[in-house]
Amino acid sequence: MAGNPTHTVTNQPPALVGYDVFGADRALVEAVERHTAAEVLDEVRAELSGLGRAAGSPQVQEWGTQANESPPRLRTHDRYGHRIDEVDFHPAWHRLLGKGVSAGLTAAWNRPAGHVRRAAGFLVWTQVEAGNCCPLSMTHAAVPALRTDPALAAEWEPRLTSTVYDRGLRPAAGKAGALFGMGMTEKQGGSDVRANTTRARPLAEAGTYALTGHKWFCSAPMSDGFLVLAQAPGGLTCFLVPRVLADGGRNVFLIQRLKDKLGNRSNASAEVEFDGTWARVVGEEGRGVRTIIDMVAATRLDCATGSAGLMRQAVAQAVHHCEHREAFGGRLVDKPLMRNVLADLALESEAATTLALRLAAAQDDGSEQERAFLRLAVPAAKYWITKRCAPVAVEAAECLGGNGYVEESGLPRLVRESPLNSVWEGAGNVQALDVLRALRREPGALDACLTEMGRAHGADHRLDRAVKDLFTELADLDGIEGRARRLVERLALVLQGSLLVRFAPPEVADAFCASRLGGDRGASFGTLPAGLDLAPLVERARPVS
């Protein structure tokens, strides 16, 4: 009845909104400052803070919720029976994707500190809604593959790096901006793309082909173009498949169904069929993997960066909750056991962010040494960071207790999203085998990684011992494939440790080396050893001052 309230709400944390997602992330801000030249630093800070304020705003947070609660819908035919193969998205999806494009998340390749500023922005934007980051990632990553053909690059790169989101299926030549997707895997082969059966038949016009076959996973099917692999007469080859032909007609791009996924619900992932589909060759016949490998490397780095973003948001939510929630006579954040859990989660998040931004800086550098470093460090980082994302998200949800298991908290969405990046662009075993391949074929890659680790030599005895143990692991090549995951995990941890020892506050580096390299911890979060100064780690992870 009116005037008889049933209860008064107390001891509930306020929503984590209305803040600068970038500016509140000390590890990310410091990494950007470390890897950005002084003459553009103010510009980059302002750009990222603007994106961070948007990401933390109630309106944009609501867009993320709306996009996930209203998954895309496939329409194969129009009302008259014509095949149209279109996917309808909630308006919030278009708003998010448009904001990501306008923020430069596809425009890294020709800007000062382009990859660092983009990686930081990608990490921030992932925390709003990860699904729209898929087309942003593929569009960004398509550029190096297209650059193998100067004519194609000249035609498409200005559209892909545009900051204009020009939606709708029209000839790309008349659009102010374009998005790209990718189709590599097939139902019979998965990660073994050399088992692909899609065939490419040469047409009369030089460089053009007709494709017949299927793709088992094709994300963002409403994109303007796709890079796909198919078997040409000369072997596995990379092709550009436009969604709409130059004369305005629809290319044959038959969407069979959309995947019903665990997470990433806002993004459409499709099974598609090609039946005489028009395509242009990219690179040389028979060198499809070589042509597309730089695209794969860029999307793999985005998987690591995106997972770092998911971890950061999970930790921010957990710390925010514990700062405002009281139990057993005091704030949760002040309870020694909860502080241990939060500090442990914060360590994982900071290590992931620090390594991801270091790899982005290597892309900006572009020297032979840094390219060699990326060859080994990207698959190692992709393997380890994406593997750590799911346990971080689950533990962070537990910090909220039962509230963290309720959809309104936002944590269940993070939990569902958390395994994805480990699967996409090559699951764990693929990454581990890629590291072995680089070790065998490119000795310069190991030298570059050892040089990076060597910059921290003598700074921490536990790090030095971990590097020595890594040498021992590398020296024993018998049965190394069966030990590949162990090797890659150690490689990633040593790289993270070497960066934190050099750049993080002493208490962060000390806790990381003690627990991750010294082995003084349990199997779950919240088991950091006694004697560490944990309060500064939790304070550093606070999302709002």
Q: Are strands 208-219 and 199-202 parallel, antiparallel or unpaired?
A: antiparallel
Of the chain, the end-to-end C-alpha distance in Å amounts to 40
Answer whether residue 275 shows pLDDT above 60. Answer: yes
* Nearest-angstrom CA–CA distance, 49 and 169: 33
Would you state the pLDDT for residue 94?
Answer: 98
Closest residue by Cα to residue 474 from 177, 67, 466, 365 = 466
Range with lowest mean pLDDT among 3-12, 144-153, 262-271, 504-513: 3-12
Whether the CB-CB separation of 242 and 278 falls below 8 Å is answered with yes
CA distance 18 to 26: 17
pLDDT value of position 149: 95
pLDDT at 1 over 60: no
pTM of the model: 0.97
Percent of the chain with pLDDT over 70: 99
Q: What is the pLDDT of residues 290-299, one digit of tens each?
A: 999 889 999 9
The pLDDT of residue 513: 98
pLDDT of residue 458: 97
pLDDT at 219: 86
> What are the structural domains, with CATH classification, of the chain?
26-286 (2.40.110.20), 290-540 (1.20.140.10)
Mean per-residue pLDDT over the chain, rounded? 96
C-alpha closest to that of 295 among 467, 441, 207, 180: 180
Alpha carbons within 13 angstroms on the beta-carbon side of residue 435 total: 29
pLDDT at 479: 85
The residue assigned the tokens 């075993």 is 429
pLDDT of residue 2: 59
For the cut 60, the answer to whether the pLDDT of residue 309 exceeds it is: yes
pLDDT at 318 over 60: yes
Is pLDDT at 450 greater than 60 in this prediction? Answer: yes
pLDDT digit string (tens) for 109-122?
999 999 999 999 99
Distance of CA 452 to the CA centre of its chain: 23
pLDDT score for 3: 60
pLDDT at 6: 76
> Does position 352 have pLDDT exceeding 70, yes or no?
yes
Mean pLDDT of the 129-146 span: 97
pLDDT tens-digit readout, 365-417: 999 999 999 999 999 999 999 999 999 999 999 999 999 999 999 999 999 99
d(CA 221, CA 164): 19
Residue 4: is its pLDDT beyond 70?
A: no
Structure confidence by residue, pLDDT tens digits, 65-109: 999 999 999 999 999 999 999 999 999 999 999 999 999 999 999
